[in-house]
Each structure stands twice: as C-alpha cells, then as structure tokens.
Chains A and B, each alone.
Chain A
Amino acid sequence: MVARAAREIAPGMVVNLGIGLPTQVVNHLVSDFPVCLHTENGLTGIGPAKGYDTADRNLIDAGGAYVSTVPGSACFDSATSFAIVRSGRLDLTMLGAFEVSATGDLANWKIPGKFSPGAGGGIELAQKARRVVVLTSHTDRAGNPKLKQACALPLTARGCVERIFTDMAVIDVTPQGFGLVETAEGISVAEVAEATGAPLILPEAAVPTF
C-alpha cells in the first residue's frame, strides 16, 4: 500500500508527507526521483533519514525524526513554511486518518476524552494542499470501518480528501461517494465493500489489483 501510494507522486511535485505511514512513502522513491519534500518545521529538500550516530542535532522533520539536506535544500522560519502550504505551492500531502467521510471530510487530530494533543500543522495541510490523499488501515483495531458516510470525530477539514490508500484498496472520493479504484492483491471487491462504512461505487470494468 505504501509502495502504491508512492506512485501518486509525480516528477516535479512539492510534497509533504505526514507523520506515521506517509513518512514511509519516501523509501519507495528512487534516489534521483525529481521531487521536493517539505516539512512544516522549516525545510524543503528533505534528504535521507539519519540514525543516532550520524544525525545533525539541528535537522529534524515535523515528527521529530532526524533528516538530512540535499544539494538545493532551503531552511526557513515557520511563517514561511506555512506560507508555502496556504498559498498553494504544496502540490500534494499524504496524511493519516482516524476517519474519512464519503464527502472527503477528514478527522485525524482528536478523539474527545482519549487523544487531544493538538493538530499542529495538520489543519493547514488538509485544508490547503492542492491534493490531499490519505494513507490508513482500512479498519480500526476493533475492525470498525474508518471510511464512513459521515465522520463522528471532530473534523480536521471538510471535503479535503481526494484519494485513500488502505491495506485493502485504493478509493477515490467522488461527487457520488466512495469510488473503488483498485483492490490489494488477494482482497475481493466484496471484502472491501464489507469493511467500508458507506456505499462503494464500483467501476464498470474489472477492478485492477495493486
């Protein structure tokens, strides 16, 4: 699923990879792939991750992981960093999710009474990136669907999600609702529909696998 999501990145894009699963997407890009990775804490041109022994104490990503620069990197302050996000210079962001609705609403920052650490830069990424895709497990740990007709949790942003990559499927948010694009190898269309909390629109042709 992470490898499939990596194919979403087109040459020349400015991309922000959210904390968690999305961070792993970079491992599936070839080393000379022409892309500019952005992190909220003030860096464009993120280079390979660094281990404890080789890390620069002044170079982290927004998740606190140690990263490096590449030729052409730029460092800047937090206002500049979010000017990039809000002004439409960010072509793509990949975010995690607690819930996604059939109209593309995203909930990924707060579970009242259980988890409320603050949204950081997530709201601006979700609301302002030119394209927002989500990487998530198809269901939560209890097996409940994370793709639902409407979100029950507090929203990060409304109507922002265009595509969802899960361990079971690739699903687009269409004007008619969730549209099945691909299934994971070994997963049937019926299994995806069963694990999805809203109607699934099927393509007329056979559904490709990834």
Chain B
Amino acid sequence: MRLPDKTSDIEDAIAGIKDCDTVMIGGFGVPGTPMTLIHALVDHGARNLTLIKNDANEPGMGIDHLLQNGQVARLITTHLGLNSHAIGLMNSGAIKVEFNAQGILAERIRAGGAGLGAVLSDIGIGTELAAGKQVVEMNGTPYLVEPALRADVALIHADRADVFGNLAYVGTAQNFNPLMAMAARRVIVEAEAVLPLGGINANDVHTPGVFVDHVVELKTLSKEYAVVQR
C-alpha cells in the first residue's frame, strides 16, 4: 500500500474557490499566515468572500491584500487592532465584522472540524457579546450556544508537510492552523518543506494528512514572512 500524493501547483489548488465562498485562513499575526496562498487568492479574484481569521494582519500584509482588493464582504475574527485599514472598512460599512472571543472562535472551528453542531460556553455572559445568542441551561448553569463553524476552503501554513499532507508546525505559527485544517470541505496547505512519505515521523504529525486536499511547496519565502521591524 502507498499513501496518495497530494502535491499540487498553487494555481490548481486555488482554482476551485468561488465567489461567496467562506474561507478559513490560519495565522496569528505573521506566524502561520499563509501569505503565498493569500496572494494566489488575490490573483484568482474570487469576490464576496467570508473570511474567518483570528486577526486582519497589518496594512499591506496577509489578508489585508484581500481587503484592499475588495474581495471580502464579511470577516469573522477576534481582533483588528494592528490593522487600521480593516477598522476603517468596518466603520464605513464596506465589510461586515463579527467579533468572537478568541478561544471561542477556536472552539467553534474545532467543533465544526469534529462534526459537532455547537459548543456551550459561559464566556461573555452579562456583556454585550452575549446579545442575540441562544441561552441554554445545563446542570443549573446558563450557557451561550456558540454554533460550530465550517468553511468551503481552508488556507493553511505548515512548517513541514509530506506529500500525503501530514503536517507539522513550529513555534507560535501553529495557532488556528490545525483547527482550521479539520473544518473545511477543501483544505489547501502551503509548506516550507514538502517531504517524501515518511519524512515526518508518525509520532510528530500535528495534522493527519486525511484532512488535507492539496499540498503546495513554498520554493522561496517572500519578505512578508520575515521578522517585522517596528
């Protein structure tokens, strides 16, 4: 038996994204943000997208290119503090923004990836973040119902992939990537190194390759991946 090879050209991997798709994008700041796949989505041009991403990167970086290009209708996120451009788009009504508590966004995605319908949480009870949310009582305690999130496509950055799509991450570049890699109908991975089968020890795999559809090797890393000088 031999595990299938999922390596792909970046254009082929991105080609299936359609207007109005929901796209999960990994990353927290620069670490783990799939900068190259994002540029390919800009070139591809799909519009009216709903993005699910922890943050909006910074002006001129990461998903800000999609915002600048007018491809985003809605953003499900936790914090836009480092991107004044994104805040401007939100305030002018050009994009709709839904804020989540960070760990609740993670759990909603994890639930989506695990085939569940929702999670129950008491985070935000008694604040305006609870407004409009269904409340259920469990063992005498009120909880908010936080619906699971799934996406049409997930764009993932990994440190290493094998050709089957087994993934390993490094440092704080892990963040939302392993969760999103389980929660989309089609999962596209860019990896800094693509290894042959067996190139990642089975015990060191963070995301099993069964979740992954396309593996794209990064031949070079653009300046957007580098340490940000402030």
Q: Which residues of A pack against B, CB within 8 Å?
A: 39-43, 52, 55-62, 64, 66, 69, 75-79, 81-83, 85-86, 116-121, 123-124, 127-128, 154-158
Contacts and interface: CB of A to CB of B under 8 A. Distances in A.
Majority secondary structure of chain A interface residues (helix, strand, loop or mixed) = loop
Nearest to A78: B106
Given A58-B172, A78-B179, A154 B106 contact: no
Interface residues of B, number: 51
B227 A42 contact: no
Contacts of A127: 122-124
Interface stretch (B7-15, B16-24, B125-133, B146-154): B125-133
B103 A85 contact: yes
Which 9 residue pairs are nearest across A and B when measured between Cβ atoms? A82-B103, A58-B171, A120-B79, A117-B81, A121-B102, A78-B106, A118-B79, A79-B106, A118-B99
Given A42-B175, A58-B171, A86-B123, A154 B77 contact: no
Nearest to B81: A117
A118 B177 contact: no
Contacts, number: 138
B107 A79 contact: yes
Contact of A117 (B54, B80, B104, B171): B80
A77 B179 contact: yes
Given A64-B82, A117-B79, A41 B126 contact: no
27 contacts: A41-B29, A42-B28, A42-B172, A52-B229, A57-B31, A57-B226, A57-B227, A58-B172, A60-B28, A60-B29, A78-B28, A78-B54, A78-B103, A82-B107, A117-B80, A118-B77, A118-B78, A118-B81, A119-B99, A120-B78, A120-B102, A121-B78, A123-B124, A123-B129, A155-B126, A157-B126, A158-B127
A127 B226 CA distance: 35
A41 B80 contact: no
A58 B127 contact: no
Interface string B74-86: 0001111110000
Given A58-B31, A120-B78, A75 B176 contact: no
A128 B124 CA distance: 11
Contact of B127 (A59, A62, A154): A154
A56 B172 CA distance: 10
B81 A60 contact: no
A155 B87 CA distance: 20
A121 B173 CA distance: 17
Contacts of A116: 87
B230 to A, nearest CB: 8
A118 B97 CA distance: 10
Contact of A41 (B77, B122, B172): B172
B65 interface: no
Interface in B143-185: 159, 169-179
Contacts of A124: 101-104, 123
A151 to B, nearest CB: 11
Interface in B17-46: 28-32
Given A123-B127, A124-B103, A43 B77 contact: no
A107 to B, nearest CB: 9
Contact of A119 (B31, B55, B79, B109): B79
A117 B99 CA distance: 9
Contact of A78 (B79, B87, B170, B175): B175
B101 A64 contact: no
Nearest to A64: B29
B78 A59 contact: no
A77 B176 contact: yes
Contacts of A83: 103
